[in-house]
Each structure stands twice: as structure tokens, then as C-alpha cells.
Amino acid sequence: MQMTFVALTIAGSDSGGGAGIQADLKTFQELGVYGTSALTAVTAQNTLGVHGVYPLKASEVEKQICAVMDDFPVTAIKTGMLFSVDIIRKVVHTLKHYQAQALIIDPVMIAKGGASLLQNEAIQALKEELLPLASIITPNIPEAELLAGMKITTAHDIERAAEILLETGVDAVVMKGGHLDNQDFAEDLFMSSNGRKFKLRSERIHTKDTHGTGCTFSAAITASMAKGKSMEEAVMIAKDYIHVAIKEGLHLGNGHGPTNHWAYQSYKGSIKEVVLLD
């Protein structure tokens, strides 16, 4: 009998379906993993922006996590939008109880349109209480700046910020390069506490349809880790997955459209635009 792998995402809902819980579940499904979820907040959102944020009570988030963890053989957990100190503390408490095999933290803070998805006072709790539990964290550049407490402009800054983040106790950091001002490449840096370091470079796709790229990338890492892949393999697969999802964009909506979550399975060419740089 074929084994069914299960992942859990703890994140916010994006009514437009490009980011958040919806992106995570689509990505899990496409990578052959059964997806479960615990909602932290509902957002009224489309490709033009976030029009409303409605957080759940921390106890309601806890109930969902327990309902999933008490019944399903979850092998990897991802967190996305956590919104408040209360929710972060409850998630930390609950995750410590269940001792996740693999925990992937996407430290979601601000949506591309500028809407706040994490309250300012929650940044410290995220850093000090949640990050130490993580297998991998996947900050984009603005998130890494806030967490590491430094401005990032050069390749040296990126490495220094990754080193600072490793000091929080995480096993590995992926510094996502989507926000860097490089017209040719989108380059991510992987660094782990056991000294492994590499970059994944892909051709930069010139499109406005990049809504949910971060959620989709970290969900792809989570799916592979749920299947038992190493952190390094999972990150490489995720880079291929997000590259193809952006490249084969669906061009939906009037703003920043979603990526194409189903492109990876049917992509016929080899994904040679993504290269590993040691």
C-alpha cells in the first residue's frame, strides 16, 4: 500500500487564493502530500490588495491544531501569517506539546501591497519564542532586516543576516531574493547550522504576477520535508516549483496575480533556468 504523507499549515486565509492557506494546500496537493490546516485569520484579499483582516482567537487556533495533530500522522508543519503575540504564544505552546518532526516558518509580516499581516509588537515573540523551534525559516529581505536588526543591501549583508538568524537556534535559513534589485536573477541563499551553504539562482521572470510566491515556496519545502526529503533537497525542489509557477503565470485579476500552482506537474521542459551555486 502506498504511504500517504500529511502536512499541516498554520496560516491566514487569502480569499483570492494566491497566498496563505489556499496557496499552501494547493502546493501540498501538487507535490503529492495530503494537506491539513489551522486558520489564524481570515483576510478579504484579491490581486489588488488586502481589504480586511479578521484574526481568530488564539484558543480557536489551538483547537484546530490539536484536532489535526491528535488524528493525522503529520510529518511536517508550516507556519505563515500568525498576526498577533497571543496567536504566536499559543502556537509555540501547542507545537512544543506535539514536537513537530519538521517545522518550516515563513515569517510573514507585510503583504506586497503594504498591508500588515503581523502586528509590530509580535515580531519579538516570533523571533525569540517561535524561531528556536524551527527546522527552516524562509524570510524575504524586508523580513530578514527586521528579524536580524540590520539593513541588507549587499551579498555580504545577506550572509551576515543569515548568520544572525542562525543564532536564534533554527537549523537552517533560506534568505529569499525576490525583493533584491537584480534584473537578471532571483537568487536565494541557504545556510544551515551545520555549515552547509549554497545559493539557488534562477532567471528573474519579469512579471507583475508574483502574489503568494513566498507562501508557495515555503509550502513546497514543507511538502518535500513531509515526504522525508532532507532540508537541502526540499529547498532545491521548492525553487524549481516556484520558478515554474511564476513562469507559467495565469494572469488573473487586475493587480498582482497569483502564480500557477499546477504548472510543475505538467512542465515538460527540464528546469534548467535554476542553478546551484556552491
Ligand X SMILES: Nc1ncnc2c1ncn2[C@@H]1O[C@H](COP(=O)(O)OP(=O)(O)O)[C@@H](O)[C@H]1O
Ligand Y SMILES: Cc1ncc(COP(=O)(O)OP(=O)(O)O)c(N)n1
**Interface pick for ligand X out of 90, 204, 256, 261 (rule CB under 6 A):** 204
Instruction: Give the three-class secondary structure for 120.
Output: helix
Q: Shortest approach of ligand X to residue 176 CB, angstroms?
A: 4
CA distance 220 to 243: 11
166 forms part of the interface with ligand X (CB under 6 A): no
63 forms part of the interface with ligand X (CB under 6 A): no
**Interface pick for ligand X out of 78, 239, 256, 261 (rule CB under 6 A):** 239
Instruction: Give the three-class secondary structure for 233.
Output: helix
State yes or no: is 213 an active-site residue: yes
Of the candidates 210, 216, 222, 259, the residue annotated as catalytic is 210
User: 149: alpha, beta or left, given left = phi > 0 and alpha = psi -120 to 50?
Assistant: left
CA distance 136 to 228: 14
What single DSSP character describes residue 19? S
* DSSP assignment of 199-230: EEEEEPP--S--BTHHHHHHHHHHHHHHTT--
* Nearer CB in complex with ligand X: 64/222: 222
Contact 95, 9 (CB under 8 A): no
Contact 241, 259 (CB under 8 A): no
State yes or no: is 57 an active-site residue: no
State yes or no: is 210 an active-site residue: yes
Q: Which does 176 bind (CB under 5 to 8 A by kind): ligand Y, ligand X, none?
A: ligand X
Q: Shortest approach of ligand Y to residue 149 CB, angstroms?
A: 21
Q: Shortest approach of ligand Y to residue 6 CB, angstroms?
A: 21
Interacting residues of 34 by C-beta distance below 8 A, sequence separation 6+: 4, 5, 6, 7, 28, 72
Of the candidates 12, 18, 212, 257, the residue annotated as catalytic is 212
Q: Which of 226, 223, 229, 253 is nearest to 241 (CA)?
A: 223
179 forms part of the interface with ligand X (CB under 6 A): yes
213 forms part of the interface with ligand X (CB under 6 A): yes
186 forms part of the interface with ligand X (CB under 6 A): yes
Strand partners, 175: 189
Instruction: Give the three-class secondary structure for 127.
Output: helix
Of the candidates 94, 215, 216, 222, the residue annotated as catalytic is 215
Q: Which residues are near ligand Y by CB under 6 A? A: 11-14, 19-20, 43, 45, 80-81, 108, 111-112, 117, 211-215
**Residues belonging to the active site:** 176, 210, 212-215
Binding interface with ligand X (CB under 6 A): 140, 176-179, 186, 188, 202, 204-205, 210, 213-214, 217, 239, 242-243, 246
